[in-house]
Amino acid sequence: MLAAEGNKPAFGQLVDQLAGPILAAIGHVVTERETAERLTQQVLVELRYTAHRYHPADGSVHTWALALAHRHAVAHVRAQPAPRAVVPCTAAHGFDESAFNALTSTQREAILLAYCGGQTYREIASLLELAPETVAEALRESLLFLGERHGAQR
């Protein structure tokens, strides 16, 4: 990859190709546009300085960049004690905010990616670097817990 060798025009072309998909990937996790744009800029800067770590045998540049973008977005969500982006999505699906916040971070991430990001459990497993069975169990336990809490409030 020429961008990894410091070729500025090549990196410019790479940015042109990846900026939109990176913003979209981050936007699936972080719903605030300004935050998604800021995270996109951070990812592009990181790509510039870590391009030498890319190995074609590990997959396409596109996949590598989107994985990095997703890690940034998830790290941002994890850093938020009660993410504002979570409330509208979880409320739209009938989840109680206090019950949602009582879930483990893995359970919250799985719910966010499944219900707010439209990801399958296999995609979630890949994105969170977990076994598909772990994600399936986290989703199952989360939905049972949220259902119990919802029923108790009626």
Q: Mind listing the pLDDT tens digit for each residue in 11-31?
A: 788 889 999 999 999 998 888
- pTM score, two decimals? 0.50
pLDDT tens-place string over residues 85-131: 444 565 555 667 788 888 888 888 888 888 777 788 888 888 888 99
- Name the DSSP class of 56: G
CA–CA distance, 93 with 30 (Å, rounded to integer) = 17
Instruction: Give the type of residue at 46.
Output: E
Cα–Cα distance between 84 and 38 in angstroms, integer?
16
- The pLDDT value recorded for residue 38 is 96
What is the Cβ-side half-sphere exposure of residue 36, based on CA atoms within 13 angstroms?
Answer: 16
C-alpha 129/C-alpha 63 separation (Å) is 14
Lowest mean pLDDT among 35-39, 52-56, 70-74: 52-56
What CA–CA distance (Å, rounded) separates 15 from 46?
Answer: 12
Q: Which residue segments constitute the domains of the chain, with CATH numbers given?
A: 1-79 (1.10.1740.10), 83-154 (1.10.10.10)
Q: Which two tokens stand for residue 92?
A: 């739209």
Helix, strand, coil in percent for the chain, rounding step 5: 80, 0, 20
Amino acid at position 57, single letter: A
